[in-house]
């Protein structure tokens, strides 16, 4: 990592590929962080175990019909605001275990941000299933990355355990949804708090 970048204040970005509001933040966080002179530390995790800890079998946007109807209209408005493509997923929330295993493996790699953007667009702009080796391979090959090697590492027992521990860490930190942003121990929840989190991060750095 470039020394100048390494010296920037850090925001931890906790996200999930099945999370619609994470889509909005994934697509814009790099640009907004660059403006704020803040470094993003990518923190992929699984939302399913978090929901299960609350006794939920799925997303609250599915469990609560009125909330779900509101959320899909909200996504239409926000995608227009951010000029992002949008197609309501026919399957929600989508399983994303393999894409997240790749993400936790590549969290500190230079290709991480682009990989996440591509995966999110496939889910929320193309309405395609993402939790399969063929799709992940397609994305990695399109990025000119060694897909077979990356998938082998992602499917290793060590990396599977890494994602489980990452999810346990999220729960220990009190994360209850995605996206969530941390500046030290200060938590900001939701895409609409990204700008506040970046401002706080910048202010904390002096």
Judged against a pLDDT cut of 80, whether residue 2 lies above it is answered with no
Do the bridges between strand 10-15 and strand 186-189 make them parallel or antiparallel, or are there none, so unpaired? unpaired
131, 116, 138, 145: which is closest to 40 by C-alpha? 116
- List pLDDT tens digits, range 176-194: 999 999 999 999 999 999 9
5, 23, 52: which is closest to 117 by C-alpha? 23
Spell out the domain ranges in the chain.
Answer: 3-204
- List pLDDT tens digits, range 29-55: 999 999 999 999 999 999 999 999 999
Q: Which CATH number is 3-204 given?
A: 3.40.30.10
Residue with tokens 């899909």: 72
Residue with tokens 């936790």: 104
Whether the CB-CB separation of 33 and 68 falls below 8 Å is answered with no
Mean pLDDT of the chain: 96
- List pLDDT tens digits, range 158-171: 999 999 999 999 99
Q: Which helix (H) or strand (E) holds 79?
A: helix 65-82
Cross-strand partners of 24: none
For 23, other C-beta atoms within 10 Å of its C-beta total: 30
């Amino acid at each position: 990592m470039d020394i100048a970048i390494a010296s920037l204040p850090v925001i931890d970005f906790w996200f999930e590929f099945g999370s619609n509001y994470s889509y909005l933040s994934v697509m814009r966080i790099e640009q907004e962080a660059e403006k704020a002179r803040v470094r993003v530390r990518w923190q992929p995790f699984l939302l399913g175990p978090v929901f299960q800890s609350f006794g939920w079998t799925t997303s609250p946007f599915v469990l609560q019909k009125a909330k779900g109807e509101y959320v899909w209209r909200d996504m239409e408005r926000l995608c227009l605001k951010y000029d992002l493509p949008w197609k309501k997923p026919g399957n929600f929330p989508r399983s994303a275990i393999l894409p997240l295993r790749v993400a936790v493996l590549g969290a500190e790699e230079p290709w991480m941000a682009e990989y996440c953007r591509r995966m999110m667009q496939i889910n929320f702009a193309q309405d395609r299933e993402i939790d399969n080796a063929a799709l992940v391979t397609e994305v990695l090959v399109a990025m000119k990355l060694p897909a077979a090697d990356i998938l082998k590492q992602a499917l290793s027992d060590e990396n599977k355990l890494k994602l489980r521990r990452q999810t346990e860490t999220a729960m220990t930190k009190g994360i209850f949804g995605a996206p969530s942003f941390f500046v030290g121990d200060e938590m900001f929840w939701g895409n609409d708090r990204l700008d506040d989190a970046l401002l706080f991060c910048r202010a904390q750095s002096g």
